[in-house]
Chain A
Amino acid sequence: MSVVPEEELLAPGHRACPGCGSVLAVRYALKALGKNTIVCASTGCMEVVTTPYPETAWRVPWIHVAFENVAAVASGVQAGLKKLGKHDIKAVAIGGDGGTVDIGLQALSGMVERNDNVVYICTDNEAYMNTGIQRSGATPFAAWTTTTPVGKVKRGEDRPKKNMLAIINAHGAPYVAAASIGYPIDFIKKVKKAASIEGSTYIHVHCPCGPGWRFDSSKTIEIAKLAVLTGMWNLYEIERGEFKLTFKPPKRRPVADYLKMQGRFRHLTDEEIAEIQRMVGEECKRLGIE
């Protein structure tokens, strides 16, 4: 097992909610990256909770500019580092799912197409949580959010989650990986690998959100693990086009085990759960992990 550094580069005392999954992702990522890192943050929960002036939780240099441009800011940082000859410092971009899969997709596409030397980490909590649980392109099928309410006519989000790994991989990125805060060693290894590669690398980390998904703050890790154990989220990496599953659940558990723990899926009927089960089966088949 790889050694996880004890040093905390994200200081305690930040304002994240109890049981926040995303802040764990940031904390683990910094352990993997070490202090020779410049973090660029997009607007969102992680930016807001860590930097209420005059306080900061960041023990590495950090810059926030706006919501949709973190990839471009990081591209600029790596260009500056290159001109300064500081080849030992890594530029890292951290964005939430909204800032990555929706409003930030153009800037991210540009960064990856240029293959700028940046590690991009998307902390995915499957909705716009900072503004109060509005759906994003990463919101899963059938989930309740404040903009996909469950009413007489509509039954939550009507489209499946956008497949970001396929999108980034299609750009020819040297490394993309799907990770989860429920599996920190797997995540840390992926961040380390991403940082060791020259070029644009992308890690999409699944981060449960208690207030948004409607579960108790003590259940974050359990739910993160269940997403993987049910096949709702799969842990894999694609290195220079080569797919590798990094964790295979011994026996895939039914999706109901995951869905029934969360208030955002409370409205689901047995038929709807069966439909999600079918979709998960298809996705696993597509990834070749049957």
Chain B
Amino acid sequence: MKKFITGNDAAAIGAKLARVKVISAYPITPQTTIVEKLSEFVANGELDAEYMKVESEHSALSACIGAAATGVRTFTATSSQGLMLMSEIMFVASGLRLPIVMTNVNRSLSAPLNIWCDQQDSIAVRDSGWIQLYCENNQEIIDSTIQAFRIAEETLLPVMVCFDGYILSHTTEPVDIPEQDEVDKFLPPYKYPYSLDPEHPVTIGAVGVPDFYEEFRYMLQKAMLESRGKILEVGQAFNKQFGREHGLIECYRSDDAEVLLLTMGSLSGSVKEVVDEYRGHGERVGLVKVRTFRPFLAKELAEALSNAKAVAVLEKNFSPGSTGALFSDLSGAFANAKKSPLLLNFICGLGGRDVSVIQIREAAKAAMEAAKTGEVKEAVRWLGLRETMVGLRP
């Protein structure tokens, strides 16, 4: 059934269709309407779940861990500062291998305080051991949310579904909402193999002394690397049933491209327009969209990008003193490659600043120039920056 819904509605409906049993969350802009919607579903009896009114995001995730360990499907949602408050417990959730699903509605981090979109929040927890999926549109949000539960439960890894605040969270788009009985066929009931049960007592969260700790961390790494196949497999199964596939990465008019733009999230939509524009002029420009940022798909990306002469990475985050996160990971992906395109990094759209088509063209032009001359003039650039305000120009 097609309906006009917001990104936040898509996330809430996705969690409802997954028949989550415990929801534990705390309000934060721009995530709030997800948990409002879920609490309505519970209040109306449309969803048979415990809605836990916790006093912080830290407790929200802690309660999800407790509930998931008893053997029920759990869900939480947050943004920005809330995610930062959770971050300590995120590392524990993945270390304990609990298949919790979380929506993160991407929002900037303080200071200065700002409630609008960039991807700094989820990027900051990229090392937390959670699978990270980024969505381009509201259809991807509902589909990825449903898939996330199956991916999590089959890999015993927690999964974050990330999408851009306001740009998607509060924007209405037509979305094909899967039928409940179809989702039930796709997503089997929750089963956790080591649940807390007095009949079979287990100890979860023991002390890992130096003699064991490294092996536990390696097992997490192995699970993350292997989850790549599971994400693909679950996506294919979803496609078979619902007729939509989102893949690990998406390649858009990229086959013969000399210049490729690389993005994550809603920005991909605008970039596709710019790509079409260039293609109209006969320029060989394409897009590669990263849907799965963790695990990082070094091999797939290297393959998808290696025939281009230059790649422009556009991203809504940066590591102070370094580059954008996607750019640095991508540089690593080409570390031992026989053939590598020139790589350019464009930091853009921080704190809700609109990324215009003009700016995307600017990035594409710089990459085209690099492709032509074989030289990168400036590896990292901030798009749309008021240079006079920060003392770069008088």
Q: How far is the CA of A228 from the CA of B68 in the complex (A)?
A: 41
Task: Please choose the segment from A52-60, A189-197, A237-245, A251-259 that sits at the chain B interface, where 4 or more of its residues have CB less than 8 A away.
Answer: A52-60
Alpha-carbon distance between A51 and B92 when the two chains are bound, in angstroms: 16
Cα-based distance from A129 to B70 in the complex (angstroms): 31
Q: CB distance A80 to B21 under 8 Å?
A: yes
Residue of B at shortest CB range from A116? B52
State how many angstroms separate the Cβ of A125 from the closest Cβ of chain B.
Answer: 19
> Which B residues are in CB contact (< 8 Å) with A77?
66-67, 69-70, 196
Contacts of A66 in B (CB 8 A): 62, 88-89, 92
- Cβ–Cβ contact A84 & B71, under 8 A: yes
Judge if B207 is at the interface, Cβ distance under 8 Å: yes
Q: Which of A52, A53, A65, A80 interacts with B72 by CB under 8 Å?
A: A80
Please tell me which one of the listed residues A35, A51, A76, A83 contacts residue B49 in the complex, with CB atoms under 8 A apart: A83
One of B68, B203, B204 near A80 (C-beta < 8 A): B68
- State A79–B196 Cα separation when bound (angstroms): 13
**A72-B54, A75-B52 known; A80-B198 Cβ under 8 A:** no
Contact of B50 among A58, A72, A79 (CB under 8 A): A79
List chain B residues, Cβ under 8 A from A38.
70, 196, 198
Most B C-beta atoms less than 10 A away, residue of A79, A81, A89:
A79
**Interface residue A82 (Cβ < 8 Å from any Cβ of B):** yes
Q: Does A224 contact B (CB under 8 A)?
A: no
Instruction: A64 to B127: give the CA distance in the assembly, Å.
Output: 21
- Residues B207 and A48 in contact, CB atoms below 8 Å apart: yes
| Alpha-carbon distance A82/B50, docked complex (angstroms) | 8
A225 to B89, CA, bound (A): 39
A69-B59 in contact (CB<8A):
yes
B39-78 residues with Cβ-Cβ distance < 8 A to A are: 49-50, 52-56, 58-60, 62-72, 74
* A64-B95 Cα distance, complex, nearest whole Å: 12
Say yes or no: A83-B62 contact (C-beta < 8 A), given A69-B89, A77-B69, A113-B55. no
Per-residue CB proximity of A170-187 to B under 8 Å, as 1/0? 000000000000000000
Docked pose: A65 CA to B24 CA in angstroms: 16
- CB-CB under 8 A from B50, the residues of chain A are 79, 82-83
A147 within 8 A of B: no
Do residues A61 and B201 form an inter-chain contact, with CB atoms below 8 A?
Answer: yes
Known: A69-B62, A84-B72. A106 touches B55 (CB 8 A): yes
| A52 and B66 form a contact (CB under 8 A) | no
| A72 contact from B22, B49, B58, Cβ within 8 A | B58
B113 CB–A CB distance under 8 Å:
no
A107 touches B58 (CB 8 A): yes
B95 closest partner in A (C-beta)? A65
Tell me which residues across on chain B come within 8 A of A107, comparing CB atoms: 55-56, 58-59, 62
For A65, what are the chain B residues with a Cβ–Cβ distance below 8 Å? 62, 65-66, 89, 92, 96, 205
Cβ contact of B204, chosen from A59, A63, A82, cutoff 8 A: A63
A114 interface residue (CB < 8 Å to B): yes
**Given A51-B206, A72-B59, A107-B62, residue A58 in contact with residue B201 (CB < 8 A):** yes
- B193-213 CB mask vs A (1 if < 8 Å, else 0) is 000111011111111110010
How far apart sit A82 and B71, CA to CA, in the bound complex (Å)? 11
Does A246 touch B at the CB level, under 8 Å? Answer: no
Given contacts A72-B54, A76-B24, A76-B62, contact A51 B70 (CB under 8 A): no
CB-CB < 8 A to A63: which residues of B?
65-66, 69, 196, 203-205
What CA separation (Å) do A74 and B65 show in the bound complex?
9
Contact A64 B196 (CB under 8 A): no
Known: A35-B198, A58-B203, A61-B198. A73 touches B55 (CB 8 A): no
CA separation between A110 and B209, bound complex, in Å? 33
Is A79 in contact with B55, judged by CB distance below 8 angstroms? no
- B198 close to A110 (CB less than 8 A): no
Q: Is the CB of B198 within 8 A of A89?
A: yes
Q: Is A143 interfacial (CB-CB < 8 Å)?
A: no
Interface centre among A47, A51, A61, A71 (most CB of B within 10 A): A61
CB distance from B75 to the nearest CB of A (A): 12
Closest chain A CB from B56 CB (angstroms): 6
The reply to whether B67 and A76 form a contact with Cβ atoms under 8 Å apart is: yes
A134 within 8 A of B: no
Q: Are B67 and A61 in contact (CB under 8 A)?
A: no
**Alpha-carbon gap, A56 to B89, bound state (A):** 23
Chain B residue with minimal CB distance to A89? B198
Rounded to whole angstroms, the CA-CA distance of A148 and B96 in the bound complex is: 36
Q: Say yes or no: is A277 at the interface (Cβ < 8 Å to chain B).
A: no
Q: In the complex, which of the residues A106, A109, A110 has the most CB atoms of chain B within 10 Å of its own CB atom?
A: A110
Q: Decide if B22 touches A79 in the complex (CB within 8 Å).
A: yes
Chain A: CB-nearest residue to B70: A80
Say yes or no for A124: interface residue by CB 8 A criterion.
Answer: no
The chain A residue sitting closest to B203, CB to CB, is A56
CA distance A65 to B65 in the complex (A): 8
- B96 contacts across to A, CB distance below 8 A: 65
CA distance A91 to B203 in the complex (A): 15
The CA-CA distance from A83 to B64 in the complex, in Å, is 13
Per-residue CB proximity of B74-107 to A under 8 Å, as 1/0? 1000000000000011001000100000000000
The verdict on A217 contacting chain B, using a C-beta distance below 8 Å, is no
Q: Which residue on chain A has the smallest CB distance to residue B211?
A: A53
Do residues A75 and B208 form an inter-chain contact, with CB atoms below 8 A? no
Within 8 A of B (CB), among A26-70: 35-38, 40-41, 47-48, 51-54, 56, 58-66, 68-69
CA of A274 to CA of B272 in the docked complex: distance in angstroms? 80
What separation, in Å, do the CA atoms of A110 and B56 have in the docked complex? 9
The residues of A that contact B196 with a CB separation of less than 8 Å are 38, 61-63, 77
Give chain B nearest CB distance to A13 CB in angstroms: 14
B58 adjacent to A61 (CB under 8 Å): no
4 closest pairs, A vs B, by CB?
A: A76-B66, A80-B70, A110-B55, A76-B63
Given A65-B65, A74-B66, 5 additional A-B pairs, CB 8 A: A59-B201, A62-B205, A63-B65, A66-B88, A79-B52
* Contacts A/B (CB < 8 Å), 7 sampled: A38-B196, A63-B205, A65-B66, A66-B92, A76-B66, A83-B67, A107-B55
Interface residues of A (CB under 8 A from B): 35-38, 40-41, 47-48, 51-54, 56, 58-66, 68-69, 71-84, 86, 89, 91, 106-107, 109-110, 113-114
